[in-house]
């Protein structure tokens, strides 16, 4: 069974930092591109970052570019999101999501979500 288990998150002050993690199991982790998607309270979904299986290709949404860093450790089946210079509007539930294998680009498996709250 494919599983993505998230950890990290919590409360941070504006300007502070947090790190999110996501561990995959039940599949060949290196074969899949991975993403982070967030959802502010009561709002819609926002894709924020993608990393290819070999880490060669990385994309960020403009809203987090220069502040957030996506990375992965395939030896540990682990995906991370380092979030720096946090702002109030970064408050959201953050999901890791697996890109389906192949040319198509949709999210076929999701983590359980973790809440990041940015407040002074």
Partner 1 sequence: DIQLTQSPSSLSASVGDTVTISCQASQDINNYLNWYQQKPGKAPKVLIYDASNVETGVPSRFSGSGSGTDFTLTISGLQPEDFATYYCQQYESPLLTFGPGTKVDVK
Q: Which residues sit at the interface with partner 1, rule CB under 8 A?
A: 35, 44-47, 50, 59, 61-62, 95, 97, 100, 104-108, 110-113
Helix (H, G, I), strand (E, B) or coil at 31: helix
SS3 of the chain: helix, strand, coil, percent, to 5: 10, 50, 40
Return the DSSP state at 54: T
| Least CB distance to partner 1 at residue 95 (A) | 6
| Least CB distance to partner 1 at residue 57 (A) | 8
Minimum CB distance to partner 1 smaller for 50 or for 68: 50
Minimum CB distance to partner 1 smaller for 18 or for 97: 97
Burial class (CB in 10 A: 0-12, 13-18, 19+), 74: middle
Token pair for 116? 């990041």
| Least CB distance to partner 1 at residue 78 (A) | 19
* Cβ atoms within 10 Å, residue 30: 14
CB 21, CB 34: distance < 8 Å: no
Minimum CB distance to partner 1 smaller for 27 or for 59: 59
Minimum CB distance to partner 1 smaller for 23 or for 46: 46
| Least CB distance to partner 1 at residue 36 (A) | 11
């Amino acid at each position: 069974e494919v599983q993505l288990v998230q950890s990290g998150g919590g409360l941070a002050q504006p300007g502070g930092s947090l790190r999110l993690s996501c561990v995959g199991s039940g599949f060949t982790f290196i074969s899949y591109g991975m993403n982070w998607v967030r959802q502010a309270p009561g709002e819609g979904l926002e894709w924020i970052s993608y990393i290819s299986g070999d880490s060669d290709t990385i994309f960020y949404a403009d809203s987090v570019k220069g502040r957030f860093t996506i990375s992965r450790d395939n030896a540990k089946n682990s995906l991370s999101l380092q979030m720096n210079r946090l702002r109030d509007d970064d408050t959201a539930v953050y999901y890791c999501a697996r890109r389906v294998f192949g040319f198509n680009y949709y999210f076929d498996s999701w983590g359980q979500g973790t809440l990041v709250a940015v407040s002074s």
